[in-house]
Amino acid sequence: MSLALAPIDVSVDIEANLPCRKFDPDLWFSDSPAQLELAKSLCGDCPLRAECLAGAVDRAEPWGVWGGEIFERGAVVPRKRPRGRPRKADVARDAELAVEVEERLAANGLDTRSSVRLAA
């Protein structure tokens, strides 16, 4: 299934207004969960957030932060976990965050059941 991308607003000064252009690009592809959360927060005010997310879903991006969401192995994940066995509290938090991710994707007009695969 292919997603239609929204037209880009030509009045947006691409280089000046995009956080991924202002900050170190490695931040969006970090191994550190804290840095990925920072990248997600920087995407919050981006004028191309919805288009970025839709494009990443369409391409099934293998990793990184796209449109304010974390992708890992082509799936949207609520947060990146550090290496090792997760704590029980983290597993419960992941379940809550998965619901929040689905709500954010729906708010951006992406039907999570057909257009994006959420990691378990």
Q: What distance in Å separates the CA atoms of residue 53 and residue 118, rounded to the nearest whole number?
A: 14
Is 52 annotated to bind a ligand? Reply is yes
Is 40 annotated to bind a ligand? Reply is no
E strand or H helix at 76: strand 75-77
Matching residue, tokens 């299934």: 1
Is 112 annotated to bind a ligand? Reply is no
Is 28 annotated to bind a ligand? Reply is no
Return binding residues for [4Fe-4S] cluster: 20, 43, 46, 52
Return binding residues: 20, 43, 46, 52
